[in-house]
Amino acid sequence: MSLPADAFGNRIVINTAGVTAVLVFLTTPWSSQHLVSAFLAVVIWGACGWAMLVPIQHRLIGVNPAASQLSISLSSSANYIGVSLAPIVGGFLLDEAVSVNHLGLPAAAIIATGLLIGELSHRLIRRDAKAVTVAAAPARTSDAPSPASSPSRIDRP
């Protein structure tokens, strides 16, 4: 049995889990009204968070395999920083901006922002990889002689 990231690719798994988490948080004004729906929302939210970790790490390794240990360490640190800042931001929002039932709305906005940043990084990575591929390919025209048929430096007058 293969993992979803292996079967569908990192981008699809990250985006699907992220969009699902956004939808879960957008529905918190309604799902928080009943214990069963709140429990289901928390389970789905946890599954989304769990589903994103490995594809994100795989994406980081693919970008720069030589720095994979460092990039995964930094990613884990950023994850822990986000988890530790969440109660501070949530507490501030509860004091100043939103009610308990609507706290999921700014959380959905934060997740959507993360998805947009992830999509932008995917496009930049793809663009840079394409530029490296084009730069590495030899520039050949139909008029230029092939390297095998051109005389070497020693053979030139």
Q: What is the pLDDT of residues 40-53, one digit of tens each?
A: 999 999 999 899 88
Q: SS3 for 153?
A: coil
What digits encode the pLDDT tens for the residues 63-82?
A: 888 988 999 999 999 989 98
From CA 148, how far away is CA 145, in angstroms rounded? 8
Query: In whole angstroms, how far apart are CA 65 and each of 11, 40, 52, 70, 73?
Result: 18, 38, 19, 10, 13
What digits encode the pLDDT tens for the residues 117-154?
A: 989 988 888 887 777 777 766 655 555 555 554 444 33
Helix axes 35-63, 10-26, angle to 10 degrees: 150
